Amino acid sequence: MKITILGAGNMGGAIACGLAVNGSAQPQDITVIDHKGKNVPRLREVSEDINVVVADYSSLSTADILIIAVKPWMVEEVLKTHKALLENPKQLIVSVAAVVTLAQLQEWTSPHQPVFRVVPNTAIAVRQSMTYIASQNADKEQREQVFRIFSQLGKVEFVEEKLIPAITSLTSCGIAFAFRYIRAAMEGGIEMGVYPDQAKDAVLQTLRGAIDLLEANGNHPEAEIDKVTTAGGITIKGLNEMEHAGFTSAVIKGLKASNIK
Ligand SMILES: NC(=O)C1=CN([C@@H]2O[C@H](COP(=O)(O)OP(=O)(O)OC[C@H]3O[C@@H](n4cnc5c(N)ncnc54)[C@H](OP(=O)(O)O)[C@@H]3O)[C@@H](O)[C@H]2O)C=CC1
Ligand SMILES: O=C(O)[C@@H]1CCC=N1
């Protein structure tokens, strides 16, 4: 199965590296198209075997799966520019572009082309993405093919397209929100006299523990919070202060601001 990845930036590069390092695809079956060549050294550093080409679009005609990883506003242009190479009606067109819809992908390819809208996040670089997939005109086997690729790179779920904007906010943007929490907690630690690296380790291990607890017991987060908040104790003082400053409201407002339909 031949895969061409169009765009070798954060997403395209991470998908290529993830698949190559993991060994789930033969490196010679993956072609990454970088249009100016600036990403070639970075990809080569990860694996000498990744087939990176510069502005050579010939593999578009032979790929079984085309993964489009350019900026959203470029998707229409690249599909239209290379339309003559995209003649295989069974080729799976997979776009990771955040706001490009299945209807648009359909319009820019052909009416019965199997098209996929995939929502990863940057943790795909360490094969820990939360990835959602919606599809149109794809049969079960084609959906499984795309599922198999992305399940090498983290956790995958199929969703209806109408949920994609909200899911994108929670996961693709959400990873940045999580980093901002980590940074804020580190800054608090530093103000209290903890060294930055020590603060980072403390916050990361605490978050890992929180995730493992929720995954192990399936509890609602509030049930775990109840176990921490001793009546009259110190945790509730901190939590209430955070809520007075609008913590929950700020998170919800941020998620909704990123929920672009
Ligand atoms: N970053 C993220 O967290 C997420 C991104 N996405 C989506 O992934 C897509 C890619 O984003 P990201 O990887 O961050 O962006 P990047 O800018 O890192 O990567 C895009 C790449 O496409 C290249 N490119 C542009 N035009 C062409 C062309 N004609 N042929 C070949 N390559 C081309 C760019 O090259 P150059 O820079 O040299 O012009 C660049 O390397 C976007 O549509 C985004 O919405 C989805 C979920 C999360
Ligand atoms: O901020 C963005 O637009 C892209 C899409 C989701 C994450 N990054």
Separation of alpha carbons 82 and 25, rounded Å: 25
| 183: containing domain | 167-257
The model's pLDDT over 172-219, given as tens digits with 9 standing for 90+, comes to 999 999 999 999 999 999 999 999 999 999 999 999 999 999 999 999
Q: Do 86 and 114 lie in a common domain?
A: yes
- Separation of CA 158 and ligand 2 centre (Å): 19
Residue 44's pLDDT is 86
Q: Report whether residue 99 contacts ligand 2, using a CB cutoff of 6 Å.
A: no
pLDDT band per the 50, 70, 90 thresholds, residue 132: very high
Domain boundary among 120, 139, 159: 159
CB-side neighbour CA atoms (13 Å) of 251: 12
CB-side neighbour CA atoms (13 Å) of 200: 5
Check: CB of residue 18 under 8 Å from CB of residue 152: yes
Q: Report whether residue 69 contacts ligand 1, using a CB cutoff of 6 Å.
A: yes
pLDDT band per the 50, 70, 90 thresholds, residue 48: confident
Is the pLDDT confidence value at 119 over 90?
Answer: yes
Domain boundary among 109, 142, 159: 159
Q: Bridge-partner residues for 4, per DSSP? A: 31, 66
Q: Report whether residue 258 contacts ligand 2, using a CB cutoff of 6 Å.
A: no
> Average pLDDT for residues 59-81, to the nearest whole number?
97
Domain boundary among 159, 192, 207: 159
Helices 174-191 and 196-217 cross at an angle (nearest 10°) of 130
Is the pLDDT confidence value at 26 over 80?
Answer: no
Separation of alpha carbons 90 and 133, rounded Å: 18
Please give the share of the chain, as a percent, with pLDDT higher than 90. Answer: 89
Q: Report whether residue 6 contacts ligand 1, using a CB cutoff of 6 Å.
A: yes
N-terminal to C-terminal alpha carbon distance within the chain? 33
Residue 162 has a CB neighbour count (10 Å cut-off) of: 9
Separation of alpha carbons 189 and 191, rounded Å: 5
Residue 18 has a CB neighbour count (10 Å cut-off) of: 24
Q: Do 115 and 227 lie in a common domain?
A: no
Residue 12's pLDDT is 96
Q: Do 104 and 186 lie in a common domain?
A: no
> Average pLDDT for residues 110-139, to the nearest whole number?
96
> Average pLDDT for residues 69-81, to the nearest whole number?
97
Q: Report whether residue 13 contacts ligand 1, using a CB cutoff of 6 Å.
A: no
Check: CB of residue 50 under 8 Å from CB of residue 16: yes
- Separation of CA 132 and ligand 2 centre (Å): 14
> Average pLDDT for residues 16-31, to the nearest whole number?
81
Strand runs labelled E in the chain: 3-6, 30-34, 51-54, 65-68, 92-95, 115-119, 129-136, 154-158
Q: Do 119 and 67 lie in a common domain?
A: yes
The model's pLDDT over 217-244, given as tens digits with 9 standing for 90+, comes to 999 999 999 999 999 999 999 999 999 9
Q: Do 28 and 147 lie in a common domain?
A: yes
pLDDT band per the 50, 70, 90 thresholds, residue 246: very high
Q: Do 130 and 173 lie in a common domain?
A: no
CATH number for 95:
3.40.50.720
What distance lies between CA 112 and its chain's CA centroid?
27
Q: Do 36 and 149 lie in a common domain?
A: yes
Examine the predicted complex and report whether its ipTM is higher than 0.95: yes
pLDDT band per the 50, 70, 90 thresholds, residue 25: confident
CB-side neighbour CA atoms (13 Å) of 51: 16
CATH number for 248:
1.10.3730.10
